[in-house]
Amino acid sequence: MSNPFAGEVSLVIDGHRHVLKLTLGALAELEAGLGADTLVALIGRFEERQFSSRDVLALIVAGLRGGGWQGDASDLFQAEIDGGALQAARVAAQLLVRAFGPLKAADHGSV
């Protein structure tokens, strides 16, 4: 089970539930994979609903790696994702929101 307060999201791949999280290391790996593109541009594409399947796959792989998964993108080419491409896109967007969403009072330790 994932903990949304820790930035985690769950995704079922090939019948196994995985916990995804955009850790600093996963973000660095994602940024390296984006090449000349930036995380800000990636976030913008999701906000504008102009993201690509490549964007979704990159975020899913980064989230899986942040959750401890040892695979790479090619391992997912034939994988069965519960909910299909739409669920993968939702999870990718949730990862971004949980990693970069606005801070709430509770996040600052305020009441």
Domain range list for the chain: 4-105
pLDDT in tens, 55-111: 999 999 999 999 999 998 999 999 999 999 999 999 999 999 999 886 554 444 443
Q: How far apart are CA 68 and CA 28, in angstroms?
A: 15
For residue 65, what are the contacts with CB-CB under 8 A and spacing of at least 6?
Answer: 25, 26, 29
Angle at 98 between CA 67 and CA 28, to 5 degrees: 55
Q: What is the pTM of this model?
A: 0.85
Instruction: For residue 65, give Cα distances in angstroms to 22, 41, 48.
Output: 8, 21, 26
